[in-house]
Amino acid sequence: MAQVRWPRVMLKLSGEAMAGGRGLGFDVAAIDAIAREVGEAKATGAEIAIMVGGGNIMRGARTAEADRDRSAADSIGMLATVQNGLALQEALERQGHDTRLQSAITMSAVAEPFIRRRAIRHLEKGRIVILSAGTGNPYFSTDTAAALRALEVRAQAVLKATNVDGIYDRDPHKHPDARRYRRLTYDQCIEQRLGVMDLTAFTLCAENDLPVVVFDLGAPGNVRRAVLGEDVGTVVGREP
Ligand code: UDP
């Protein structure tokens, strides 16, 4: 077993990642590629839980802006994450991995309910645990759900997969000389207003000393490297 930095991780996958370059819906090739990345990370011996987002199908806050009821829109968003969870489970199982899908909204025909102890047991048995339906409550995000469940299952870090290779002092798409931070403290992120996650999610991590690794999912091998603690993206934690 390779030397892993985080023996149990909570990988946060956005819904957009499931859509490949299309932004909306599913891209089977992109989902297969994510499954391969997860499989490589699993091969290090680390235990892997995944929180899936739903932004490729529905984001509740946007619908609320269009004068729709936020709670209803958020329920649709949470159900969207179950669809993503099922798609990812299918891809992982096809590649020979043992997985379990849990949902924070009871949906026993397609997913187990989220039961903390059961999730931990699955992880201990080497299963990849996919968590869906976020927290099960409206007005939250799957980033917050990732932080919450990471604490509940005692993961050592949240690995936040994004489309930039970490946190920069300026927008790297606009400023070619923007510098990537390799490490940041929670306080530095707050002082410099660096948007790592939404504030609810970020506060939960900071208050409970849960490190967040922000990294680019697009670079092959990055999930594995993040698990191993190699220099990918930016690690946000208490220590500088
Ligand atoms: N959502 C929710 N409660 C949760 C998690 C998610 O209501 O605990 C809803 C919310 O509408 C959100 C949508 O599900 O916009 C999809 O999740 P998110 O936007 O976090 O997905 P991502 O941006 O990661 O794809």
Distance of CA 74 to the CA centre of its chain: 18
**Nearest CA residue ID for atom 23, ligand 1:** 55
The set of residues, in sequence order, having a beta carbon less than 8 Å from that of 41 and lying 6+ positions away, is: 9, 11, 48, 223, 224, 226, 227
Give the model's pLDDT for residue 1: 56
Q: Which atom of ligand 1 approaches the CA of 70 most closely? A: 11
* 141 ligand 1 Cβ < 6 A: yes
| Helices assigned H by DSSP within the chain | 15-18, 28-42, 60-65, 70-94, 116-124, 142-152, 186-191, 199-207, 222-228
* 85 ligand 1 Cβ < 6 A: no
Q: Which atom of ligand 1 approaches the CA of 55 most closely? A: 25
In angstroms, the CA 195 to CA 202 distance is 9
Indicate the pairing of strand 234-237 with strand 212-216.
antiparallel
Q: Which atom of ligand 1 approaches the CA of 75 most closely? A: 7
Residue 69 CA to ligand 1 center (angstroms) comes to 15
List, for residues 62-101, the tens digit of each pLDDT value: 877 778 899 999 999 999 999 999 999 999 999 999 999 9
* 202 ligand 1 Cβ < 6 A: no
| Stretches in the chain below the pLDDT threshold 50 | none
**Nearest CA residue ID for atom 14, ligand 1:** 77
Give the model's pLDDT for residue 8: 98
Distance of CA 145 to the CA centre of its chain: 9
